[in-house]
Amino acid sequence: MANTILVGAQWGDEGKGKIIDFLTEHADIVVRSQGGNNAGHTVILGAKKYILHLIPSGILRREKVCVIGNGVVIDPVSLVGEIETLKAQGVKIGKGQFLISDAAHLVFPYHRLLDERREVKKGRNKIGTTKRGIGPAYGDKAARTGLRMCDLMQPALFTEKLRLKVRENNAVLKALGGASVSFKEVNDACLGAAEKLRPFVTNTVVYLHEALKAGRNILFEGAQGTFLDLDHGTYPYVTSSNTTAGGACTGSGVPPHRMDRVIGVMKAYTTRVGEGPFPSEDVLVSDMLHGMGREYGATTGRARRCGWFDAVATRYAAMINGIDDLAVTNLDGLDSLERIKVCTHYKLGRKQLDVPPTDTRQLAECEPVYIELEGWGKPTTEAKRWGELPAKAREYLKAIAELTGAKLAIASVGPGRDQTIVL
C-alpha cells in the first residue's frame, strides 16, 4: 500500500482510529508524528473496546511495529499508564515492536496546570482544550526550553534540568493564581517512568529510514484534524501541532518525496469539541446524535458539538493535505433522516465564499449556504458492499466526495471492523 499519511479532514474525531486499524493490515509500521495524549482513538475488536491516546492503534496487531515520532509530545507517566492498561487487556507490547523517539518533547504536570490556568484566565474566550498540557509543552519546544526524551534517559542531567523548569514554572503558576508542583514528586514519577520506557527509546528517524530502505510500508496516523492545525486551523481555537499532512514529515523525519498517498478521513456530518466557530453547527443534529448515545469524546467525555456536512471546510482540507482518497465514517449516524443538508458555501455579508476565511471572527460571522439531499431512512449498518447501501446513501456519499474534490475510497457504517465498505 506504499507510504500513506492519514489525516482528519475536519475538526478531529473523524473516526480515524477505526480507519487506521483497518489500513494497518496492509502496513508494516504505524507512526504517530504529532499531538499527544489529547488524542483519543477508540477501536472496537469483537467484544473488546480499546481507547488509545499516544500509542498507535497498530499495537493491537502483534506483527506490526508502532513508532512515536519526534513531533509528538509525551507525558511519560501517562504513557506508562497507557502501556499498562493495554497490557492488562492482554495486548503484548514488546521491545522492537514499539519505539519512542528520543527527540520527542515531554509534557509535565506544570504544563497541565498552566493549560488549565490559562483557560480559566481566558474566561469566555477559552479554547476548550483537553487540559493535557499540550499547548504549554509545544510552547516550551518552540521557546527552546523544553525537555526531551533523550534528557529523561539521563537521570542526573534530567533532574538538574527539571529542577530549573519546576522553579520557573511554579513562579508562573503563582502569578496566574494556580497551585504549584512538587519538584521531588515530579522528578521521582518521571524517573520511575523513564526506566519503564527505556527499552523503547531510540533514534526513530534512523529506524524509519532503514525500514524505507528495506521496502517496508509505513502508515502515518494523524491525530486531531485539519481545522485544529496550528497553522491552517481556526486559530486560536486549534491545537499546538501541525495536524495536516506536512506534519507527518517534520514529525517523523521521513521526507516528503517518500510519501505516496494521503487519505483524508471525514464524518458524513461535522463535529467539533471545544470552542471556536463552526458554521454548519445545528442543534437538531446535535440532539439527534446525542440522543443516539453518539458523539461523546473519548478523551474528556465531553459532548461534541454537531452539525451538517461542511464541504467548504473539507474542500480546503483536500487542498492543504493533498488528499487523494477519502474515507467517510459514521454514515449510519444519518440513517433516520428524511432530508439532509450539506453546506456548499459560506455567505459573509454579500460575499459568497468557497474557502473558509482566515480570520476567526469572520468565520464566526459566516452563514452556511445549504443544498438539501434526500435521506435514505433505513439502517446502513449491515451493508458490507457498496451495492448493499441504499441508493440514496450512495448518492449522498458521492455528493460529499465530489464537493470535497477527492476520490471516495472507504465508507464506514459502524464501529466494527466488518462495517467497512471499500470501493
Which residues from 240-269 bind ligand IMP, rule CB under 6 A? 240
Query: If binding means CB under 6 A, how many residues of this protein chain bind ligand IMP?
Result: 20
Beta carbons of 41 and 20 less than 8 angstroms apart:
yes
Is residue 314 close enough to count as binding ligand IMP by CB under 6 A? Answer: no
Is residue 51 close enough to count as binding ligand IMP by CB under 6 A? Answer: no
Q: Which of 21, 26, 41, 325 is catalytic?
A: 41
58 binds, among Mg ion, ligand IMP, none (CB under 5 to 8 A by kind): none
Give the span between the Cα atoms of 394 and 242, in whole angstroms: 33
- Using CB under 5 A, pick the residue from 13, 82, 140, 332 that binds Mg ion: 13
Task: Label residues 54-64 b or e (16+ Cβ within 10 Å = b).
Answer: bbbbbbbbeeb
Beta carbons of 57 and 95 less than 8 angstroms apart:
no
Give the span between the Cα atoms of 247 and 127, in whole angstroms: 22
Is residue 127 close enough to count as binding ligand IMP by CB under 6 A? Answer: yes
Rg of the chain, C-alpha, whole Å: 21
Q: Which amino acid is at 318?
A: A
Nearer to Mg ion, 90 or 301 (CB): 301
Is residue 134 close enough to count as binding ligand IMP by CB under 6 A? Answer: yes
- Using CB under 6 A, pick the residue from 3, 6, 7, 12 that binds ligand IMP: 12
CB of 115 to ligand IMP, least distance (A): 7
CB of 264 to ligand IMP, least distance (A): 15
13 is catalytic: yes
Name the pairing type of β-strands 41-45 and 48-52: antiparallel
Strand partners, 374: 339
Task: Label residues 392-408 b or e (16+ Cβ within 10 Å = b).
Answer: ebbebbebbbebbebeb
Nearer to Mg ion, 191 or 303 (CB): 303
Extended strands (E) in 182-290 = 201-202, 218-221, 261-267, 270-272
CB of 91 to ligand IMP, least distance (A): 21
Is residue 38 close enough to count as binding ligand IMP by CB under 6 A? Answer: yes
- Using CB under 6 A, pick the residue from 223, 230, 265, 326 that binds ligand IMP: 223
Active-site residue set: 13, 41
Residues of this chain that bind ligand IMP (CB under 6 A): 12-13, 38-40, 127-130, 132, 134-135, 223-224, 228, 237, 239-240, 273-274
